[in-house]
Amino acid sequence: MSIDSSAFGHLALIRRTSRGSSGRSYVTERTKSALFLGDRWPSIFPVFQGVRTLCQDNIFVFSGRLLVTSCPENAVSRLLTECTQIEAKSISMNEAINHRAGMAHSAIHRNATEDGFQSFSDFWNYIFFELGDKRTNHWPLLGSPIPGLTILALYLLFVKWIGPKMMENRKPFELKEVLIVYNAYQVFFSMYLVYEALDGLWLNKYSCFRCESVEWEANEYTMRICRGFYVYFIAKLTELLDTVFFVLRKKDNQITFLHLYHHTMMPMAAWGTTKYYPGGHPAFIGSINSFVHVIMYAYYMFAAMGPQFQKYLWWKKWLTTLQLGQFCLAFLHYMQILFHKDCNIPKWSVIIVLPNAIFFYYLFNDFYEKAYGPREQKKKENGIQQPIENGKKLE
């Protein structure tokens, strides 16, 4: 015998089981969605107390499950009926709240677009608070772009002026141990992101062959996605240390336009997706980028270990090829949002993503041609080959 009440999350499934001489037992399984229904417990508590009296205290909550022993079925039915009514009332209330929130958002948008903003602070609040995802808006560094832009400004100031000036009359730091630890940290950081992407998205729910919408609900699954996006954003900030180490080691030839553009653009792109669209279609770019970084930072880690390991780094050329393939996949995958009307990712975002994918491909291909093109091959054939630098970056 079973009693089903799918409407109420906490009482999603009640089934009768055997408990020996103690009589009947009804076990209520709590679904994943019920994990975020804890605020409704105050509403059900008086009902629970009343039924508990009828059941002579043979009803209790244990480890997220409602256990009922030796209790009349009519008492259990009453509990289910009243809980269902509470849930229906809660759903109606939530729908009304969502409707009012939608109307308020539309009113804000209408006033902003038709009547204009009364002040710069109104515009600022609208762009960076009203439009931001309420699940991530309050997280560190996401409230406004100022913290991130400040970090990037200090980064550029150091690598272009302060750092070179400071190192002008100094010998370069070797930093061998620091580089090994740093690159190992980046490898494990990227491996964690790849695991989260595969386990939480691509092997579970997402598909590479359709436009994936952002799910705006706040539940265990969507919050895991939000955290993944946030960790990816933090990872892009930590990668600024790549350039800092170049400066301290006086590898100024490695600080190219490609390198600086990549390291300043990626953190703010990750900031924007984490703040406004944490989930959905943009997750693909972060997933493949993290996979590439696992291999890339492993290469840097071995290169930093010294000449004895450099003979094993023959696959450097293929690492650059992998980077080029990454941008091709990102371009093709992101174009899908242009052909799916039911996808909530804004189509105007292609103006940012696609040109950058093309630009990155051009820059990396230019690097590839200079490093491995016919002219370089001819130099190698003539015995003119530059040694591999410790920790040399490809970007």
- pLDDT 10s digits, 115-128: 567 888 889 999 99
The pLDDT score that the predictor gives to residue 314 is 87
The residue among 102 and 179 whose pLDDT is bigger is: 179
Residue tagged active-site, from 259, 262, 281, 333: 262
Query: Residue 321 is encoded by which pair of tokens?
Result: 């090829």
**Is residue 380 over pLDDT 70?**
no
Query: Residue 250 is encoded by which pair of tokens?
Result: 């006086």
**Is residue 162 over pLDDT 80?**
yes
Whole-structure pTM value: 0.69
| Residue 174 · residue 299 · CB < 8 Å | no
The pLDDT score that the predictor gives to residue 340 is 87
The pLDDT score that the predictor gives to residue 12 is 35
d(CA 255, CA 395): 9
The pLDDT score that the predictor gives to residue 335 is 94
Catalytic annotation present for 109: no
**Is residue 78 over pLDDT 70?**
no
Query: Would you tell me the crossing angle of helices 73-110 and 41-54 to the nearest 10 degrees?
Result: 170
- Sign of the alpha-carbon dihedral angle for 95, 97, 98, 102: positive
256: left (phi over 0), alpha (psi -120 to 50) or beta: beta
